[in-house]
Amino acid sequence: MFSNRRTRFALIVLASQLLLIALAFVMLIEMILIATNGLVQFVEANPVILAIEIILTVLITLFGIYVFVIQLKRLGEKRNSDEGNRREKHQ
Is residue 11 in some structural domain?
A: yes
pLDDT at 76: 79
Q: Give dist(CA 70, CA 65) in Å, integer.
A: 9
Residue 44 lies in a domain: yes
The whole model's pTM is what? 0.66
- Number of domains making up the chain: 1
pLDDT of residue 89: 63
* Position 88 in a domain: no
Q: CA dist 45 to 5, 40, 51, 69, Å?
A: 44, 16, 11, 36
The torsion angle over the Cα atoms of residues 53, 56, 58 and 61, rounded to 10 degrees, is -120
pLDDT tens for each residue of the chain, 91 residues long: 566 888 888 888 899 899 999 999 999 999 999 999 999 888 999 999 999 999 999 999 899 899 889 888 888 777 676 666 666 666 5
Q: What's the pLDDT at 25?
A: 92
pLDDT score recorded for residue 50: 93
Residue 91 lies in a domain: no
> Which structural domain, as residue segments, surrounds residue 62?
5-77
Is the residue at 59 inside a domain?
yes
Give me the pLDDT at residue 7, please: 86
